[in-house]
Structure 1
Amino acid sequence: MDWQDFPAWGARVSDWAAEYHTSLRDRPVRAQTRPGDILRALPGSAPEAAEDLEAIWQDFHEIVMPGMTHWQHPRFFAYFNSNAAPASVLAEYLASTVAAQCMLWQTSPAATEMETRMMDWLRQGLGLPEGFPGVIQDSASSATLAAVLTMRERALGWAGNRDGLPGQKAIRVYASAEVHTSIDRAIWIAGIGQANLVRIPTQGQLRSMDPAALCAAIESDLAAGHLPAGIIACTGATGVGACDDIAATCAVARDFDLYTHVDAAWAGTAMICPEYRDLWAGIEEADSVVFNPHKWLGAQFDCSAHFLRSPEDLTRTLAIQPEYLKTHGADGIINYSEWSIPLGRRFRALKLWFLMRAYGMEGLRAMIRNHVDWTAALCESLRSDPRIEITSEAVLALFSFALRDGDDDAVQAWINRINDDGRIYLTQTRLDGRLVIRFTAGQFLSEERDFTTAGEVIRALL
């Protein structure tokens, strides 16, 4: 294939993409294949001679598509959605065509300067204060790792990267058990160690960290000769939407001069709606915040917005400037590779530019408000069924439920029936040791009828 063939194939793929998205309701949400089916259908080695693209296209339909779970399905209610709004798809098409490696300002000035502007558009949309700049990371996991490395270096007086961790005091980081496991992984990679991730008890309906217990844990560690470094709080945690009291958490952090990072990977998007911002009141006091536009906002994966009160702390932790990466004769520029763990960077800002312009902030707010309202209505509908127990109340567009009279095996059998049926897709979690079913909404083109169908399927397969 060459560029002379590309226009015809590009049009063909574009037509298929539109048909695929508009017909998703006719497909089962989850892949219906069994383990190994796709692997067995793929040859054991690459072809020596070029193959006709028509044959490749046919195999795409016959081999690949049957093994795909449809994350863009309007009845995908399992994990937090990874969206692909049409405007975002077009932007990704363009970014892939240009295929720039945007690690430095000089390697693509438009990518760097658009990233600066798009992050400020998002900052304004979220109601964050001025002087809270940001960078686009590939995922919240990377942003959290960058935050953990920063809090480690800050606690060590910026000596960890130079001297290593052997011989240092035990570095302590604090979080509740509700935070995402990406926090555990960041602790591992940063060399801090799982034993030094201190779990703080939670309280209340939102399962937030107990500030008094947090304060006591820090004081105990200081008395034991440990080195407290930072706190990781959450807004809208993955399990059942736990939200820490950000203002109280940051107050404790100030008292002990600790770094505070807030993981709002899913729920952060909802903060473009002012009425939901009470869930992260005090966010302006945090040192860093992350949310994923590639979840609820509609941007194509991957696109994670990482805001920082002091980007200098981040660059002091991560930046390396060999001669071949220096830009001479251009003052005041930003090289975002110095704000990220990977050196290489894609042109992610383009899809945010397309997305926010094509739908407008009010259009995006309307989508989020609909999902929250329709989720609340579904929660109340299920509550009215005497066989079903609501095990955690709706936090934005997430709640959990279980059988009122049934053990874990019965709940697992129920969710298996639901997912095997194919009309909707849900997943499970554990809540206080009990197996429960999560419902979470966020697919860009979901409609109220999809939530109605969800309720019908849940009850019919009980």
Structure 2
Amino acid sequence: MKAEIHSLLPQLIDHGLENTEGLLRVACPEGTDEISKQPTPNDKDLVSHLAAPKQAKSISQVLQECASIFESRVATQHPKFFSFIPSTMLPVSWLADLIINAFNPHVGGSLAGSTCDIVEKSLMSWLASKIGFSADEAAGLSVSGGSMANFMALTAARDKIVPKTENHHLAVIYVSGDTHFSISKAARILGFGKDQICQIPGLEPQTLATSILDDRAAGRIPMAIVATLGSTSTGSIDPISEIATVASENNIWLHVDGAYGASILLSASYAHLAKGVEKADSLTWDAHKWLFTSYGCGMLFVKDKQCLARSFAAHSDFLDAGGRQENYEFWDLSLELTRPARAMRLWFILRALGTDRIGEMIDRGVRLAEEA
């Protein structure tokens, strides 16, 4: 099989999969290309048949079948696709994925991850400094996306603010009408009921402060506030600085869901729109939304790395002992043990384009939105 793959590589690189106009064209469509193609009943039957293979096929045939499967889809990276904002992948991101997947590093810890581990830690420290977090005290790590980052942030908030299990039913999480649904999903998975999610319109600070006082008086435990930096529907931003003041005065964890909007921190002209994120306890940031990577490249940043270690460090006979206070491994700070080199995707793009150009591209996006 290795020889067969080797013989196909020139064709794959030069011409792409059969029945397509090349992998690069597929990854980065032209404006005249079709945006959406939905499968016919016949297509569905064919794919269902292909989905449960029994006999081995040649790599060439498998490539053809793969192309036929991917043919029906919504090309969310299409230049004229504006329905929602999951990915703005650049050609360089596709190239990065190809190379990184060939190396297939395990970035769960420093032994297997080695230099990829060093790059991720250094890159996350640099991005943490852009947020305003201390590089020495904060932790940043790549995750699959905003949903996972939000889940881990709420877990850390629970374990710090409401450490006793018997009090979990008293916890309250404050959100706005624009808060992403992954927050309520994470809360449910963590064992919180619907009545423990308090929605405050626009997270208006005075209304928020009053609700917190009322909940405390009723014997509940205000646990976390989730502010939004770039809502899914409109890109709106909650008043983060004022919300942070309320959170600090009431000893409540402040999480900022910046999956979409946190990239504004790399803008030379509009970074001020993220004012107040430096006061948060945690921040979600997706590179696959506005930093031009392919899917599955999210990030979580927490101001105090020990909060993540409290929730996720564990002991095992085949790993080094967890709970180190200085040199935490990524498996000490994450739900995952086996981790792909997601951060290397982002590194590749930042290295190839430079942060100044990335900032200019973000600026252009804001100006286009203003013009629209």
TM-score, normalised with respect to structure 2: 0.90
- The residue aligned with 2:282 is 288
**One-letter amino acid matched to 1:187:** A
Partners of 2:320 and 2:83 in 1: how far apart?
45
How far apart are 1:45 and its partner, in Å? 6.6
The one-character-per-residue Cα deviations of 1:113-152 (angstroms, maximum 9, x if unpaired) are: 111011123334x352433431111111111111111111
RMSD: 2.2
Match of 2:19 in 1: none
Does the 8 Å contact 1:106/1:327 carry over to 2? no
Over 3 Å counting, the alpha-carbon distance change for 1:152 and 1:374 in structure 2 is: same
- Within the candidate set 220, 229, 232, 2:223 is matched to 229
1:216-275 Cα shifts (integer Å, max 9, x gaps): 111111111111111110011112122111111111111110110000111111221143
Looking at structure 1, the residues matched to 106 and 60 of structure 2 have their Cα atoms a distance apart, in angstroms, of 30
Which whole-Å CA distance do the structure 2 matches of 1:214 and 1:71 have between them? 37
2:241: which partner in 1?
A: 247
Deviation track 1:80-118 (CA, whole Å, cap 9, x = no partner) reads: 141332322222222211223322221221222111011
Equivalent of 1:212, from 206, 211, 215? 206
State the alpha-carbon separation in 2 of the partners of residues 19 and 242 from structure 1: 33
Where does structure 1 differ by over 4 angstroms across 4 or more consecutive aligned residues? Answer: none
- The structural deviation recorded for 1:176 is 0.6
Conservation of the 8 A alpha-carbon contact between 2:229 and 2:261: yes
Instruction: Give the Å deviation of 1:316.
Output: 0.2
Q: How does 1:239-388 map to 2 (within 5 A)?
A: 239-326=233-320, 333-377=327-371, 379=372
Structure-1 residue corresponding to 2:195: 195
Match of 2:141 in 1: 135
5+ residue gaps, structure 1 = 203-208, 380-462
- Return closer, same or farther for 1:44/1:30 CA change in 2, 3 Å cut-off: closer
Q: 1:11 to 1:321 in 2, by over 3 A?
A: farther
Q: Secondary structure at the match of 2:216?
A: helix
CA contact (8 A) 2:282 2:301 kept: yes
What is the CA deviation profile of residues 53-94 of structure 1, one whole-angstrom value per residue up to 9, with x for unaligned ones?
Answer: 232233333x32331211221111111141332322222222
Cα 1:27–1:251 change in 2 (3 A) is same
Residue type matched to 2:108 in 1?
A: M
Give the Cα–Cα distance (whole angstroms) in 1 for the partners of residues 342 and 250 of structure 2. Answer: 37
Following superposition, the deviation at residue 372 of structure 1 comes to 1.9
Whole-angstrom CA distance in 2 between matches of 1:331 and 1:235: 31
CA distance in 2, matches of 1:291, 1:64: 31
Q: Equivalents in 2 of 1:149, 1:129: separation in Å?
A: 20
Q: Is the CA contact (8 Å cut-off) linking 1:92 and 1:351 kept in structure 2? A: yes
Secondary structure of 1:108 counterpart:
helix
- Conserved 8 A contact 1:105-1:334: no
Partner of 1:17: 23
Aligned to 1:3: 2
Counterpart-to-counterpart distance in 1, 2:58 and 2:73: 24
Q: Which runs of 5+ in 2 are unaligned?
A: 15-21
CA distance in 1, matches of 2:321, 2:101: 25
Equivalent residue, structure 1, for 2:39: 33
Match of 2:108 among 100, 103, 106: 103
Deviates more, 1:83-92 or 1:233-242: 83-92
8 Å Cα contact 2:169-2:192 kept in structure 1:
no
Corresponding residue of 1:436: none
Larger Rg: 1
Local SS of the residue matching 2:173? strand
The alpha-carbon distance between structure 1 residues 371 and 25, as it changes in their structure 2 partners (threshold 3 A), is same
The separation in 1 between residues aligned to 2:229 and 2:209, in whole angstroms, is 20
Checking the alignment, whether the CA contact within 8 Å between 2:27 and 2:94 is kept in structure 1 is no
Equivalent residue number for residue 113 of structure 1? 118
Counterpart of 1:68? 73
Q: 1:247/1:47 Cα in 2 relative to 1: closer, same or farther (>3 Å)?
A: closer
Aligned residues of 1:150 and 1:314 also touching (Cα < 8 A): yes
State the alpha-carbon separation in 1 of the partners of residues 153 and 304 from structure 2: 11
Residues 184 and 197 in structure 1, CA contact (< 8 A), matched pair in contact too: yes
Cα distance in 2 between the residues matched to 1:21 and 1:28: 13
* Local SS of the residue matching 1:183: helix
Q: CA deviation at 1:375?
A: 2.7
What is the CA–CA distance in structure 2 between the aligned matches of 1:248 and 1:19, rounded to whole Å? 46
Aligned length in residues: 361
Distance 1:300 1:30 in 2: 18
* TM-score, L = length of structure 1: 0.73
Is the 8 Å Cα contact of residues 127 and 272 (structure 1) preserved in structure 2?
no
Among the aligned pairs, what percent are the same residue?
24
- For 2:256 and 2:173, how far apart are their aligned partners in 1? 13
In 2: Cα distance, 1:113 partner to 1:327 partner = 20
The whole-number CA distance in structure 2 between the counterparts of 1:350 and 1:196 is 38
**Letter matched to residue 216 of structure 1:** T
How far off is 1:37 after superposition? Answer: 4.8
Cα separation, partners in 2 of 1:324 and 1:97, compared to 1, 3 Å: same
**Who is 2:95 aligned against?**
90
Q: Secondary structure at the match of 1:366?
A: helix
3-state SS, counterpart of residue 24 of structure 1: coil
Check 1:69–1:168 CA distance in 2 against 1; reply closer, same or farther (3 A cut): closer
- Bigger mean CA offset, 115-124 vs 145-154: 115-124
SS at match of 1:33: coil
* Cα 1:218/1:127, change in 2 over 3 Å: closer
Cα distance between partner residues in 2 of 1:342 and 1:37 = 39
Check 1:37–1:271 CA distance in 2 against 1; reply closer, same or farther (3 A cut): farther
